[in-house]
Amino acid sequence: MPTLACDGAVLAYEQSGVGPDIVWIPGGDNRGADWVDQVAAFRGDFRNTTYDPRGAGDTRALVPPPWSIADHATDCAALIRAACRPPVFVVGLSMGSFIAQEMAMRYPEMVACAVAMGTAGRITGYLREWMQAEVDFRRAGGTLSQPMAVAHYGVLMYPPEVLADDAQWAAVKPFVDASYGERDGEMLATQWQACIDFDSLDRLPACRVPLHVIGFSHDVQAPYQHGQRVADAAGAGHFHLLEGLGHLSLRGHKPEIVNACLRDILRRYI
């Protein structure tokens, strides 16, 4: 896997395909390789760049935490300058969706269109309480056994349709395990704290980069109403709701539905 040394990290990344550039930004605790279902679908028409963010995978941070979403966006911008032909499409999920928003606001000259999935503009209410409780638990030294971690995070990642189907659950369970089964508690807390601290709502009205928000009707990790507020606030915002999908349905559950929505969005800007 190639690497790129930038100011704050040595980023591990991969590229494949030929065409306009898409940079896929993973969610918290996830790696660039987790976009496998999307890269396979878009490789024939786009050049796809995936990478591991600070705190996950093979990327090595050069400065200690805390790291803000702005820090993560600086890493992404450095990768785009070095390995892509901007302006590019940036597509992010969860923590990656915050980075995609930040890219559109902070580096508009680099972004042709940003897509934020499972997102929010400000973490409030139950969502904030739950995420802060997770961070506090990890920082207090709390750990979950591998079976408990898979069961706990599986509920947050996939809709009831998957959890009720033994074959579907067996198919996606290895992905949940890889992301959370033995996750480093401090790195989880660091990434999630950046999400809790992120706030874009007051800045979004000035953003003129097209920002497409995809919400999932069965998303309990980032209820789609949070994403709808982002699209409503953005200067060039658009909202898309996919019925029956959960936070991670794009991986191993219904990737074809998410990919079709993404393709429809991206073709508007080619």
pLDDT tens by residue, 47-61: 999 999 999 999 999
Asked if pLDDT for residue 183 goes beyond 90, the answer is no
pLDDT surpassing 90 at residue 180: no
pLDDT at 181 over 90: no
> Is 186:24 a contact under the CB 8 Å cutoff?
no
- Average pLDDT for residues 152-179, to the nearest whole number? 95
How far are the Cα atoms of 64, 132, 142, 152, 184 from residue 139, in angstroms, in the given order?
Answer: 15, 10, 7, 18, 11
pLDDT of 215 higher than 90: yes
Q: How confident is the model at residue 179 (pLDDT cuts 50, 70, 90)?
A: confident
CATH number of 3-123+199-269: 3.40.50.1820
Q: Domain coordinates of the chain in residue numbers?
A: 3-123+199-269
Tell how strand 211-216 and strand 111-117 pair up.
parallel
pLDDT digits (tens, 9 = 90+) for 85-144: 999 999 999 999 999 999 999 999 999 999 999 999 999 999 999 999 999 999 999 999
53, two tokens: 């963010």
User: For the packed helices 185-197 and 69-83, what is the interaxial angle rounded to 10 degrees?
Assistant: 100
* Alpha-carbon span 200 to 221, nearest angstrom: 19
- What are the pLDDT digits (tens) for 63-76? 999 999 999 999 99
Span 15-29, average pLDDT: 96
From CA 192, how far away is CA 8, in angstroms rounded?
A: 18
Q: Kindly report the average pLDDT of the chain as a whole number.
A: 96
At 48 the pLDDT is 98
| 116 beta partners | 92, 213
Residue 32 pLDDT = 96
Residue 209 has pLDDT above 90, yes or no: yes
Containing H/E element for 50?
strand 47-51
Q: Where are the alpha helices (DSSP H) in the chain?
A: 36-42, 69-83, 95-106, 125-139, 146-157, 160-163, 166-176, 185-197, 224-233, 255-266
pLDDT for the residue 203: 98
The number of CA neighbours under 13 Å toward the Cβ of 36 is: 8
Does residue 19 have a pLDDT over 90?
yes
Quick one: pLDDT at residue 15?
A: 98
* CA 229/CA 234 separation, integer angstroms: 9
Q: Is the pLDDT of residue 147 over 90?
A: yes
Q: Specify the amino acid at residue 252.
A: G
Instruction: Say whether 58 sits in a helix, a strand or coil.
Output: coil
